[in-house]
Amino acid sequence: MTTTTLAVLVPLLPFLGAAAGLLLGRTAPGFVRPLAVLPTLTSLALAAMVAVRQGGDQAVNAATELTPTGSVPIELALHIDGFAALVAVLVGLVATCVQIYSTGYLRDDPRYPSYAALVSLFTSAMLLVVYSGDLMVLLVGWEIMGICSYFLVGHYWETPEARAASLKAFLVTKLGDVPFLIGLFALATDAGSFRITRVLGAVANGGLDHPTLIALLLLAGVAGKSAQFPLHTWLPDAMAGPTPVSALIHAATMVAAGVYFIARLLPVFEASQAAMVVLAVMSAVTMAGSALAALAQDDIKRVLAYSTIGQLGYMTGALAVGDRGAAVFHLLTHGAFKALLFLAAGVIIHAAGTNSLAAMSRMSNLRDRVPDAFWTMTVALLALAAIPPFSGFFSKESVLGAAEHVATGHTEHAPGAAGWTVLVAGLLTALLTAAYAARLWLLAFHGRGAEAPDHGRQPLTMTVVLWVLAAPSLAVGGFAYRTLPDWFDGRDLAPTLTTSVLGTGVALVGGLVTYAAWRHTTALAARVPLGAVAAHPEGDAGQVEAEAIASHKPAYGDVAYAPDPADPGRLLLGPLHRHAAVGFHLDAVYTALFVRPVQAGATLVRFLDREVVDTYVRGAGALPRLLGAAVRRAQTGNLQTYVSVLLAGTVVLVVAAVLVATGA
Amino acid sequence: MTLAAAAGFLTAATETHGFLSPTGVEIAFLLVGLVTFGAALVTVTTKQLVHAALWLVATLGGLAVEYLLLTAEFIAWVQVLIYVGSVVVLLLFGLMLTRAPIGRSPDADSGNRWAALTVAVASAAALVWVVVDAFRTTWIDLDGPAAGSTEATGASLFQNWVLPFEALSVLLLAALVGAIVLSRKTKADAAGTGPAASTGPGVLGAGDTGRDTEGAR
Amino acid sequence: MHLAYPAVLSALLFCTGLYGVLARRNAILVLMSVELMLNAVNLNLVAFDVWLSRAAEETLHSGQALTLFTIAIAAAEIGIGLAIVLAVHRNRGTADIDKLRDTAEGHESHPTDGSDGSDSDARTAGPADRAGKAEATA
């Protein structure tokens, strides 16, 4: 088989698996699990073969015209360069892990068939986005991902949190997608084609008329999909979905699609200095703000969600300084260790029966209940905190190195201001990242108090994939940073001395300060009892998680926040803690700015409809009704009345006829 | 009548037979006509139901006189025989059988009275106007042999109108059967309620109709 | 004689009968008014027949023949009409036309009403009424 055939099969197989799963889900439940796992596994193997064959050489391009449109043609096109090949392998790996993990996690869930089919469909769409060489086809995959995300976030639709979160995720990402669509059309109009290769060719020849406008419009869609400030608010709420979905969609792949998209079209963005500065500021605000918020969250998955936002901020930061190699490098390592973090968090939630860190900090021995989760999560947290030699260190140093490279005057790709912004924000975030990673680790695994409940061993499917993902989290950075430049643009990704020392230093400082704060506050934990655990700890992990999410608000007063004085984050953040816990009131601002005006508008429209329009309608109905009542009154049933009227009419007619006949 | 006369006077002054110089027959016709019209008015306005039937006799008798004045003697006698002799008697029987109150009944007229009056006056005005306008100069010559003598009528009827005459006898037979059927039906319906209430009128209806058809023949 | 005299008289009689048909409450009085209208037509027929039989050489005396037919038909009509009125009176206990409102808007049929009325009528029919009936049959 040629590389092109293999590449076509990669997105096609999960799609066929999804279709078959939806068709057979009710009639043949025995086929659902193989149909979920096998196509994804096969496409992982095929993606790996494609990557090996492509090997970082010349990009593979293939195209067939889908439909002649008269102006800009839409083509089914493949464009597989090193980025696409490697990202596809990552997507296949994480998707396979998640599918295997889900067979255990949602073991007893009655909606598992549709869930698995949607995950397969999502995988197919993501692979389509990765391989597509045509922006229109890419948009199709992009939107399918959005709708799958909507359905999967709302998987536990019995809980109001999940319903609200799925709607919010859908609406916020669509808010970004509208400018994105306009931007795509503007780009295609300027470049004369939807093909990525031709667009890049047009950019290289200076063929874009409105680079800043196009870049900013595209940026809106990227901000929505990749959860960048100010459109990031849907991602923490999306944690109301099942944990495997969070791992696949809201950590490893879909949210990375925006970064990947910019990486593909980076020359378009580089054509506009303003867009690069906006991108830098956006990434800086996202990184720092989300890291602060992560430090204040009580829900373990929300900590990871804010962490995801922050790491995506690193990637956009790398793009803002014009180094897409660093961005995709971080995307790959982050995809591995963040998927691992989420899957391990799912195991912990199942074991502890709660998603609250405050409650976990009051359980001893949790780490002995789930040793696999403990060890793999430790690895992943170290990778997240960018401690050498874990993979996160290398990718994050490559980002910081690129920023420093620009900040020190090599501004051929990006403005110097962007470099400084990303560098400063990146170092600050490295400090905070280490702090919240340490807080998570300490609170979850070093709690003191009652013995953690024993729910037996976790399913094998759930623990094995943790080790599968732990390997790349541990090692891929160190092995890959020398070979990856061959696959990417050829720029060096090795850590530089200055940023390595600085980054590792601030990370160690952050971790140690958190440890000190934890030592200081942990004595309080015994004094303030807190905690609520799921009602059915013997159920499967999905049910435990749904109950944990549903009970968090009644137990602690908020989905994100717990009044826990023993929290080291509270000590570290001081007065900021209150604001950070609710995401710096951005939701309240949106409520005031958008939700209330829209609701007021809806009220006004309802008033206009009910009172004004309906008045005309009622008036139009009232006249015939009055006439009808008058005519009805004439139906007395008295024959003499009828005959009187009949004869009166006859007389009038006769007189009229006579008058006309005589010409009077 | 006076209205018609006045209207005729203006336009027919030059005619040989003016309205201002009536013949004796005309005067007689006019007087009897006034009586007839007055009796008709009383018939439809009186509050005593039996009186209405009696005033109807006066009206129909007046009309018979008018037929005589128009030289239609056979019709006049038939009018007296059938209408005055049988129809009015039938109506009186009907009134009694429906237990019509004897004496003044205040609700003899329905609430439709004013509408009826309006329609009647309007149609009267229209008809009189049209008729007078059309026939104010037309003259009937009543001299010579009577146009409606029994001989002439009989000859005409049995020479030219035999077939309709026989058809009419079939119609009368049908009416006879219909009246009997109507009576039978009521008898069957009322059978459950008691023999005293039902049999009498049922027999009566059939008897009336039979007598009526005999009279018509 | 002027033709206008009988023509006008017949028009007036007709309208008088019309008024009676429309205004009278008792069905038998309505039948009387119908007779008035028929007679008005008869007068018209006779008058025009007399006029035409003088004016024309040959005549079929159609007016007089038709008058005779009308009289016969009127007699049949009054017989059947009275039979109907009597049937209605027996069923409904009344011969008032404006109480027969089954076709009125919002009218609800009370099947027991009529029979009750006739029943009670039949029971309360006093000796005088019985006597009247007996007289009628005699």
- Write the single-letter amino acid at B14: T
Residues A579-583 have a mean pLDDT of: 80
B42 CB near a chain C CB, below 8 Å? no
Average pLDDT over residues A181-193: 88
The CB density around residue B23, as the number of other CB atoms within 10 Å, is 12
Directed axis angle between helix A324-352 and helix A371-384, to 10°?
A: 150
Which tokens sit at C117?
């009325």
Q: How far is the C-alpha of A383 from the C-alpha of A618, rounded, in Å?
A: 68
Count of CB atoms within 10 A of residue A479's CB?
12
Instruction: Determine contact: A643 vs chain C, CB below 8 A.
Output: yes
CA A464/CA A97 separation, integer angstroms? 9
Q: Which residues of chain C have a CB within 8 Å of the CB of B164?
A: 65, 69
Residues 6+ apart with CB under 8 A from A79: A59, A60, A61, A131, A132, A133, A195, A196, A197
Q: Cα dist. A336→A86, A167, A343 in Å?
A: 12, 28, 11
> Is residue A354 predicted with pLDDT exceeding 70?
yes
Among B residues 171-190, those touching chain C with beta carbons less than 8 Å apart? 171-172, 175-176, 178-179, 182-183, 185-186, 189-190
Return the amino acid letter for B165: F
Per DSSP, chain C holds a count of helices (H) and strands (E) of 5, 0
% of chain A with per-residue pLDDT over 90: 9
Residue with the bigger pLDDT between B112 and A425: it is: A425
Of A147, A138, A145, residue with least CA distance to A14: A145
| pLDDT higher than threshold 60 for residue B195 | no
Q: Where are the domains of chain C?
A: 4-100, 111-138
> Taking CA atoms, what residue in C is nearest to B68?
C46
Quick one: pLDDT at residue A75? Answer: 79
The yes-or-no verdict on residue B36 having pLDDT over 90 is yes
Mutate which of A641, A650, A651, A652 to test chain B, going by most B C-beta atoms within 10 A?
A651
Cis bond before residue C6 (omega within 30° of 0):
no
Measured CA distances, A84 to A322, A339, A392, A484 (Å): 18, 19, 20, 13
At residue A103's C-alpha, the angle toward residues A98 and A105, to 5°, is: 80
- Check residue A538 and give its pLDDT: 64
Neighbours of C127 (CB within 10 A): 7
Asked whether residue C133 carries a pLDDT value surpassing 50, the answer given is no
pLDDT at residue C39 in the model: 93
According to the model, what pLDDT value does residue C117 have? 40
Residue type at A83 in one-letter notation: F
Please say if the pLDDT value at position A529 is more than 50. Answer: yes
Is pLDDT larger for residue A628 or for residue A565?
A628
d(CA A502, CA A495) in angstroms, rounded, equals 11
Q: With contact defined as beta carbons under 8 Å apart, do C50 and B141 qualify?
A: no
d(CA C91, CA A466): 96
Please say whether the beta carbons of A427 and A502 come within 8 A: yes
Q: Could you tell me which of A38, A160, A36, A161 has the C-alpha nearest to residue A107?
A: A36
Q: Can you tell me which residue has the tokens 């005005």?
A: B125
State whether B153 and C68 contact (CB < 8 Å). yes
Average pLDDT over all residues of chain B: 78
The answer on pLDDT for C131 being more than 70 is: no
What is the rounded CA–CA span in Å between residue C17 and residue C33? 4
Across the interface, whether the CB atoms of C76 and B175 are under 8 A apart is answered: yes
Residue C80 has pLDDT above 60, yes or no: yes
pLDDT (tens digit per residue) in A361-397: 778 778 788 888 888 989 899 888 888 888 888 888 8
- CB within 8 Å: C25 and B190: no
Please report, to the nearest 10 degrees, the dihedral formed by the alpha carbons of residues A303, A306, A308, A311 taken in order.
-120
Residue A192, pLDDT above cutoff 50 = yes
Q: How many CB atoms sit inside 10 A of residue B159's CB? A: 10
Alpha carbon distance A432, A294 (integer Å)? 9
B2-145: what fold? Four Helix Bundle (Hemerythrin (Met), subunit A) (1.20.120)
d(CA A495, CA A492): 9
Interface touch B126/A641, C-beta < 8 Å: no
Whether A570 shows a pLDDT value over 70: the answer reads yes
Q: Which chains touch C (3 or more CB pairs under 8 A)?
A: A, B
Can you give the pLDDT at residue B199? Answer: 38
Would you identify the CATH topology of the domain C4-100? Helix Hairpins (1.10.287)
Residue C130: what pLDDT? 40
Q: For residue A444, give the nearest of A323, A568, A593 by alpha carbon.
A: A568
| pLDDT band with cut points at 50, 70 and 90 for residue B201 | very low
Residue type, B143: D
Confidence band of A536 (pLDDT split at 50, 70, 90): low
- What is the spatial distance between Cα B49 and Cα B95, in angstroms, rounded to a whole number? 8
**Which residues 60-119 of B are in CB contact (within 8 Å) with C?**
60, 63, 66-67, 69-72, 74-75, 78-79, 82-83, 86-87, 90-91, 93-100, 107-113, 115-117, 119
pLDDT value of position A182: 92
A580 with A293: CB under 8 angstroms?
yes
* Domain ranges (residues) in chain B: 2-145, 161-217
CB contact under 8 A, C97 and A644: no
**pLDDT band per the 50, 70, 90 thresholds, residue B147:** confident
* N-terminal to C-terminal alpha carbon distance within chain B: 36
